[in-house]
Chains A and B, each alone.
Chain A
């Protein structure tokens, strides 16, 4: 069934509110069409098209979570496909397909889209520590810095009495993480 503009806006609101089911719905709704579109019109292999789709969903997700995307002027699908096109062209880094001026300008402005992230040694140490992090630090840091929840929402979600308690816990978690990371930097002579 075709989604209306209101359905799309609801998806944005739900993702903003942290409902993973909404993100899953968007993924399922446009996965086939998106991959088919890249395959048909840009001669993209299916695996590459799926990579582009997943990266595009992540970017869209971050735009919604950070408030960069609040209200839609078209549909969420148009927004997602627009990101996808930029991710795809950035991945290709080729002039095989002719880009119009507007596309080139957008690409230059947002050329991080689709680029492979390379971590330096310190960042890799932090990644390894984050993966081993225990509760409540794991949730509190992820909710605040990745999901970009406010402290009020985190306090509610994790059962703290107030946002000040959540904030104090977050600060303690960061201090502990930094201290362990610094020790690991020294161990590895970074």
Chain B
């Protein structure tokens, strides 16, 4: 026969999902034959749902405070970014002739073949960025279906097959982001993800709005 404190302990373990097998049996027995205990369990279950709702609301209050902080910090950054983007667009239109832009956006045939042939990797598999990704904010979000089993190297190459950026990412990472260098010219680029054993590649555009219509 359990006393009130023992029953309370058993109930707490049930609510926090920490009952052992023998305690679970004891709990089930008690629930069947002790009506007061069964009522107590029912109240506590409602209580847990209520507590969860109140706790979540408090966390959301904390997030709201963080959002206000971030908004104040970001207000300046957004203006600077907009000015930079405008300058880049104007610079792109002023600095490149149509022929230069055609050259910058010319695909690399051998890379196009590799991309079609490898079907975006097997052992190492990338879900995003999608093929022909139009990158507008100098950021590439990678999502791996099968991440590398070793440290991964991400190479960014231009269409002259020159390395313009290299980033290392820890093994088993499923999500990572590459912030592209601000001084990259508009054009078609290629990313290569390699873990030393396998390599998979894809392409993306920078400044695709400058791509000459032919």
Q: A36-B141, A146-B52 are in contact. Are A57 and B8 (CB under 8 A)?
A: no
Q: B54 contacts the other chain (Cβ, under 8 Å)?
A: yes
Q: B53 contacts the other chain (Cβ, under 8 Å)?
A: yes
Interface residues on B, range: 35 or more
When the two chains form their complex, are residues A117 and B172 in contact, meaning their CB atoms are under 8 A apart? no
A175 and B105 alpha carbons, distance in the complex (Å): 72
Report chain B residues within 8 Å CB of A142: 51, 54-55
Contact for A126 among B46, B56, B129, B172, CB less than 8 A: B46
When the two chains form their complex, are residues A24 and B175 in contact, meaning their CB atoms are under 8 A apart? no
A contact patch SS: helix
Q: Which residue of A lies closest to B143 (CB)?
A: A41
Stretch touching chain A among B59-67, B88-96, B194-202: B59-67
Q: A11 contacts the other chain (Cβ, under 8 Å)?
A: no
Contact for B143 among A37, A50, A181, CB less than 8 A: A37
A-B interface pairs (CB < 8 A), number: 114
Tell me the minimal C-beta distance from B70 to chain A in angstroms. Answer: 7
A177 and B47 alpha carbons, distance in the complex (Å): 9
Tell me the minimal C-beta distance from B170 to chain A in angstroms. Answer: 6
Q: A122 contacts the other chain (Cβ, under 8 Å)?
A: yes
Which of A50, A61, A120, A145 counts the most chain B CB atoms within 10 A? Answer: A145
Q: A54-B63, A126-B46, A178-B43 are in contact. Are A119 and B53 (CB under 8 A)?
A: yes
Task: List 15 other contacts, CB 8 Å, given A81-B174, A148-B16, A174-B44.
Answer: A27-B66, A28-B70, A31-B70, A37-B143, A61-B59, A74-B172, A74-B173, A74-B174, A78-B174, A100-B145, A117-B53, A126-B49, A141-B51, A146-B54, A178-B40
Q: List 16 A-B contacts (CB under 8 A).
A: A36-B177, A37-B143, A40-B128, A41-B130, A54-B59, A61-B59, A74-B170, A74-B172, A77-B175, A78-B172, A81-B175, A117-B52, A117-B53, A126-B46, A126-B49, A142-B51
